[in-house]
Amino acid sequence: MSTTAASHDVVPVSVADERVLVIDFGSQYAQLIARRVREQNVYCEIVRHDITAERIRKHSPRGLILSGGPSSVYEDGAPQCDPAIFEIGIPVLGICYGMQLACNALGGQVENTPSREYGRSRVEVTSHSDLFAGMPEATDVWMSHGDQVAQVSDDFMPLAKTSTCPIAAVKHSSLPVYGIQFHPEVTHTPLGGTLLHNFLISICGCKGTWHLGDFARETIDALRERIGDSRVICGLSGGVDSAVTAALLYEAIGSQLSCILVDNGLLRKDEQAAVILEFTEHFKADLHVVDGEERFLSTLAGITEPQEKRRRIGHAFIECFKEEAAKIEDATYLAQGTLYPDVIESGAAPDGPAATIKLHHNVGGLPDELGFELVEPLRDLFKDEVRKLGLELGLPPDLVWRHPFPGPGLAVRCLGDITREKLDVLREADAIVVGEIKAAGLYRETSQVFAVLLPVQSVGVMGDARTYENAIAVRSVNTDDFMTADWSHLPYELLARISTRIINEVKGVNRVCYDISSKPPATIEWE
């Protein structure tokens, strides 16, 4: 095996031919913008706000989108962009803060206004230019701003307004620069897709040629060329990400693939057996199962801080892999199911946003010396794209549509310190939650459902006796992209059945709560 770590993106040729960059200014919706662009079959990446015009030219994008952000453009320390990007000649669309930034840089004035807009608003289109082509005279949009463009230079032409925002959209007269004060990427702007389509196709000249089928074929070819006759080890977790990664590799190199399942003691109930069954049914590659429960529980003993949990799990995970890989001849590469949100949220993208939301065990917890090269064929894809790719590759729907399961496993759903006893309680409760959701026919209607063991105990009464036992939180969310999510409005009868079964069947639990927080401000996982 090689002695230095290396990570190489497998980027299909067609991706480089037609792409759009989202310049991120701290928006909670930056990833959602990228998803909406990809829905138009145009490849999109998120980059840092301080990326230089020279660096942008190397990406050769067809267009730039300036995201929103929480700052005011006139404040000291507010994120700015390289003003030279407006002179490159590439079409630019500024959204909310991005519009204010563009107008401010090109002679306009941005001010705080008492007429703030948060939520739904009605916008009146005053000029049906190319950006608003095919749209009605008035349409609903989603606003989220306290500042707005109060004045623009003579070089800008207003395109739309609201009752409190006279300059809700603009177009520069000589530069391909556009700005909109509202958010077209959210579902609350019903015709946002039409506006983005106009920008991408009509203004940027994109043809919309990026398709997952092409991605699969080109990625398989690129993997085959890169790997040659070497052997690749791939971690299986039971989730769709690792399964699709294995499927791509199996198509590319066949019997040169060795898969390793690390039973870290943090898996769901009967997870190991399910993974082995699915693996043997759909793949014929070499499978190794590692019993790492004692190691993981030992390294997590007494640890309560979420990031430290993730870091330790990542370290133990790689150590298990290295030990097992040493038993496999010619194991040169390690394949992981890292997704684009993982890369962005961990701050690992070369030109991506710098802020780290959380560590991911497959991008943020790796030691400097892996002992093998890293292969991450999904690192440019979002979750829903991975599911579609799995179907393209012929994986069974039950596997493709399995709800996400975090890399650190139940460790981030067992709040506080981790013990085997707590994990056993959580597994039983989680199995009941998922089982009842499936029995009610709501598994495909929900996006992610699970139980959380809270680090609190409460008083209860069972059989006329006082109890002081654990509390379980039930979490169920609906989302299209996992960037934003709303809590699932499950039937009361179903929630009652889940609660009754957990309290009656799971020893040590006397209280069940339902989490009704959305993302944002909460995250989907509790840690």
Token pair for 357: 């939301």
CA 362, CA 36: separation in Å to the nearest integer? Answer: 26
Tens digit of pLDDT per residue, the chain (527 long)? 333 333 333 344 344 478 999 999 988 788 889 989 999 999 988 898 999 999 999 889 999 999 998 888 888 888 999 999 999 999 999 999 999 999 989 988 887 776 666 778 899 999 888 999 999 999 999 887 677 888 888 889 999 998 888 888 999 999 999 999 999 998 889 999 999 999 999 999 999 988 888 888 889 999 999 999 999 988 887 788 888 999 999 999 998 999 988 899 999 998 888 878 777 776 677 888 999 999 999 999 999 999 999 999 988 988 887 888 888 888 888 888 888 777 766 554 555 444 433 444 444 344 445 577 889 999 888 888 899 999 988 888 888 888 988 888 999 999 999 999 999 999 999 999 999 999 999 999 999 999 999 999 888 877 667 788 999 999 999 987 677 789 999 999 999 999 999 999 999 999 999 999 999 889 999 99
> What's at 520, amino acid-wise?
P
Cite the active site residues.
96, 183, 185
pLDDT at site 366: 45
Distances (CA, A) of 271 to 102, 113, 431, 450: 51, 55, 11, 14
pLDDT at site 482: 76
Distances (CA, A) of 192 to 144, 185, 200, 486: 15, 6, 12, 20
User: Per-residue pLDDT tens for 280-335?
Assistant: 776 677 888 999 999 999 999 999 999 999 999 988 988 887 888 888 888 888 88
Beta bridge partners of 234: 259, 335
CA 68, CA 500: separation in Å to the nearest integer? Answer: 45
Q: Which position has the token pair 């460790």?
A: 411
| Extended strands (E) in 396-491 | 448-462, 465-478, 486-487
Residues ≥6 apart with Cβ < 8 Å to 351: 45, 47, 48, 51, 55, 59
pLDDT at site 493: 97
pLDDT at site 117: 61
Q: Which position has the token pair 């990400």?
A: 241
Contact 348, 443 (CB under 8 A): no
| Continuous segment of H or E residues that includes residue 290 | strand 286-291
Nearest C-alpha neighbor of 432 from the set 524, 494, 487, 363: 494
Length of the chain: 527
Token pair for 260: 């390793």
pLDDT at site 22: 94
Contact 520, 482 (CB under 8 A): no
Task: Please give the angle made by the CA atoms of 471, 472 and 478, to the nearest 5 degrees.
Answer: 150
pLDDT at site 292: 92
CA 36, CA 285: separation in Å to the nearest integer? Answer: 36
Contact 178, 171 (CB under 8 A): yes
Cβ atoms within 10 Å, residue 273: 9
Q: Which position has the token pair 């994990």?
A: 423
Beta bridge partners of 448: 477
**How many CA atoms are closer than 13 Å to the CA of 351, on its beta-carbon side?**
18
What percent of the chain has a predicted confidence (pLDDT) above 70? 90
Tell me the domains of the chain and their CATH numbers.
19-203 (3.40.50.880), 216-400 (3.40.50.620), 413-514 (3.30.300.10)
CA 251, CA 351: separation in Å to the nearest integer? Answer: 31
